Amino acid sequence: MEVTRSGSERPLLEADELYRFYHAGRDETFALRGVSLTVGAGEMIAVSGPSGSGKSTLLSCLAGLDEPDGGHVSVDGEWITRQSETERCAIRARSIGMLLQTGSLLEPLTVLDNIRVAQKIIGQKDNGSALELLHAMGLNDHRDAVPSSLSGGERARAGLAVALANDPRVVLADEPTGELDTSNEDVVLGLLHDLAVQGSAVVVVTHSKRVTEQCDRVIELLDGRVVS
C-alpha cells in the first residue's frame, strides 16, 4: 500500500460498484452487477469464475478499454472512467500494462521491435530498456524472431515484455497462462509475482488453481457478481 501525504493508504487500483450491461434487440446481458475491488501496491490478486461470468469485461473496464454503465475505476488515485478517450489512453500508457487473452504481438515485427513500438506509442525513448526486458523474460536469443516462429511459452513471455514496455504500476493479465504447460505457466507466474514484489498491483484472470494459489487473494465472479 502506498502512503499518501495525508498519511492515508491509497490503493493503486480501485473499482467501485461497476455495472456493465449489453443489449442486443430485446436481449439484455448483465455482464457486471456491482463489482468492487481494490488492489494495493505489491499485491497480486486472481479473478476467477466460469466462462461468461464477466472476467474479461471487468478487466476491460479496469483498463479503461471499456466504459462501465455505472460505477468508476481509479488508477493511482486518478479516475479513468468517464474521461475522454485521449485521457484514458494517456492514463493507460502511463500506468497500465495489459496482457490480452488474444495476444498483443504484431506479427510482421520482431520481438524487439514489438517492444520498441509499444514504447514509441507512449513516447518513451528506448534507452536500452527494451533489451533489459528481453533479458528479464529470457528472450535474448529470440529478439529478432517474429511471433509466429516462437513457442507458446516464448510468445507469452514476449507478450508480457510488450505489456511491461512502459514500466506500468498496474498490470492486468487475462488468462496469461491459459494455453501454457505447467513449466511455462510457472515462468510467467514467477515474472508476474516479481512485478508485485517490486511494488506493482497485479490482477490475473485465471482458471488455474496453480495460479490462484500463488495470489494474495482470489475474487470469484459468478453472473457478474463477486461471490467470494
H/E element, 14: strand 13-24
29: contact with ligand ADP by CB under 6 A: yes
User: Minimum distance between the CB of residue 51 and ligand ADP, rounded to whole angstroms?
Assistant: 4
| Cβ distance to ligand ADP smaller for residue 58 or 156 | 58
Size of the site for Mg ion (CB under 5 A): 2
119 binds ligand ADP (CB under 6 A): no
Q: Considering only CA atoms, which of 55, 77, 89, 67 is closest in space to residue 206? A: 55
State yes or no: residue 56 binds ligand ADP (CB under 6 A).
Answer: yes
Cα–Cα dist 118/145, whole Å: 17
Size of interface with ligand ADP, in residues (CB under 6 A) = 11
Tell me the window of 13-21, 51-59, 69-77, 128-136 that interacts with Mg ion (CB under 5 A): 51-59
Determine the Cα–Cα distance for residues 102 and 62; give it in Å rounded to an integer. Answer: 17
User: Are 218 and 46 contacting, i.e. CB atoms less than 8 angstroms apart?
Assistant: yes
Interface region with Mg ion, contact rule CB under 5 A, candidates 36-44, 52-60, 88-96, 132-140: 52-60
Binding site for Mg ion (CB under 5 A): 55-56
The residue ranges that bind ligand ADP (CB under 6 A) are 22, 29, 31, 49, 51-57
